[in-house]
Structure 1
Amino acid sequence: MESPEYHEFGSSNSIEERRITLQKGVRSRVVYILYGVLVLLLLILLLITGIKFSKLNQDMADVKLHLETIKTSVMNGRTSSAASQQSHSGGTTVQPVYLKGIDPVRGPCTEGWVVFQSSCYLLSQASATWSKAEEQCRTNGGHLLVLNNVEELDYISKIIPVVGFWIGLVERQHEGHWSWVDGTNYASTPTFWDEGQPDNWDYRENGEDCGQIHSTQTRRRRLWNDADCSLEYRFICEAAKPGH
């Protein structure tokens, strides 16, 4: 009588297939993990590159302003009589005028604002792009500074530090067609562009379509410069004095 044959539970082939399937699953998970790590590293690299590029743009703009300030100082030294500077538009002739700083007065203006003639002014402590600066001024009930006359410019020059500030001057459509944010006719106001400005510096990818009060190394009447609107500078807001 033949004895019955007994087989192990599951064949060797099925065990091998399960092992292969398990190995494939492990490999797939490893591949997904490595892919995720790679994507994360690429995102970090792009973020770092973007930050570095933005910092480079800002540094280049600062270098330009510094070089222009040095150039102006050298020319002033060569001309002891302080020769007059002609605005780029052929408008007002501006003599380099050195001023004394003054303490601004709040008057009837809102807390944090200072008064001069019929306007209130807010000097920002933080920096922003031109559009963000205008947005913040609008939020506070005003707009970026519109300079209507030399007296207003001299007052501002006396109360701000020697760094650059955004003002409400912008080229919205065509190169060379400047306008004030409050609708004031640009042709009706005197212009005080710094020497060689506006120059729409070719290095800037976006051009230089926003106006700012130029930085300076001395307390003097502040002249204007065109700058890349995407850069961040401090800014000056203006609003009507209460009752005007």
Structure 2
Amino acid sequence: MMKKHWGICSRPMALACLLLLAGTRCCYSQRMNDVQSELLVNSINHLSEAIREISAELKPLKEISAKLEPLKVFLPCKSGWFKLKSTCYFISEELATWDQSLQNCTDMGADFVKVSLHEQFLFLQELAKGHDVWIGLRDYEGKNAYKWAKDSTVHVRTALWWEEREPNSSEERCAHFKRDTNKWNDMMCHQTYRYFCEKPLGTA
């Protein structure tokens, strides 16, 4: 009889204990979440402060680098490269298709040459004399809309640079210095010619 009475009385107590335990766990879990959130916020703040300090330390170096930039014109290009102002140019001995030429320039950490100024054209024209030499200019869509491989900008035809009435073929989509006239001509891209690459002075 006593055993039965004890069992009846213990059930409400057990329920109360379970509720108390659940509440304690909930509070503990919430507290841990708060602590973790606070630690994360503090870590982010410390990281942000460290970044600001590093940026402040780098600022004088950036200013020095900017001041030294004009002096690059006095640096030489490495052997096999030819210097014009702040750019080094390379003309290959090997023959390659236009696509192979682009890849070869990339493999050297260079760009397939882009010509923007007449001074550049004359400089490369002298280097190309007597040779067919690819430049980084192509009509990708066969619509006589030539773009530079270096940056995908559209080339505006300059009459002094192209042979008369060139480019004139939707089949011949790649541009090169033509050895007999030393001006640009359009040609099928699978032909194999020498090629020009370029790098900023100080990297070649």
- Structure 1-normalised TM-score? 0.48
Q: Distance in 2 between matches of 1:234 and 1:118?
A: 23
Aligned partners of 1:148 and 1:190 also within 8 Å: no
Provide the residue aligned with 1:214 in structure 2: 178
Q: How far 1:190 sits from its partner (Å)?
A: 4.1
Offset of 1:184 from its aligned partner?
A: 5.8
What are structure 2's unaligned runs of at least 5 residues? 1-74
RMSD: 2.5
Higher helix fraction (1 or 2): 2
1:225 counterpart residue number: 185
Identity of aligned residues (%): 25
Matches for 1:58-77 after TM superposition, within 5 Å: none
**SS of aligned partner of 1:186:** coil
Return the letter of the residue paired with 2:165: G
Answer yes or no: is 1:176 the counterpart of 2:144: yes
TM-score, length basis structure 2: 0.57
Letter in 2 for 1:214: K
Change (3 A) 1:169 1:118: same
Which residue is 2:79 aligned to? 111
**Could you tell me how far 1:186 is from its partner in structure 2?**
2.8
Partners in 1 of 2:79 and 2:97 — Cα distance?
A: 24
Counterpart residue number, 1:147: 115
State how far apart, in whole Å, the 1-side matches of 2:119 and 2:157 are: 12
Q: Cα distance 1:188–1:125, how it changes in 2: closer, same or farther (>3 A)?
A: same
Q: Give the residue type in structure 1 aligned to 2:91.
A: L
Q: CA deviation at 1:242?
A: 1.3
* Runs of 4+, deviation exceeding 6 Å: none
What's the CA shift string for 1:72-93, capped at 9, x where partnerless? xxxxxxxxxxxxxxxxxxxxxx
Q: Does 1:163 align with 2:131?
A: yes
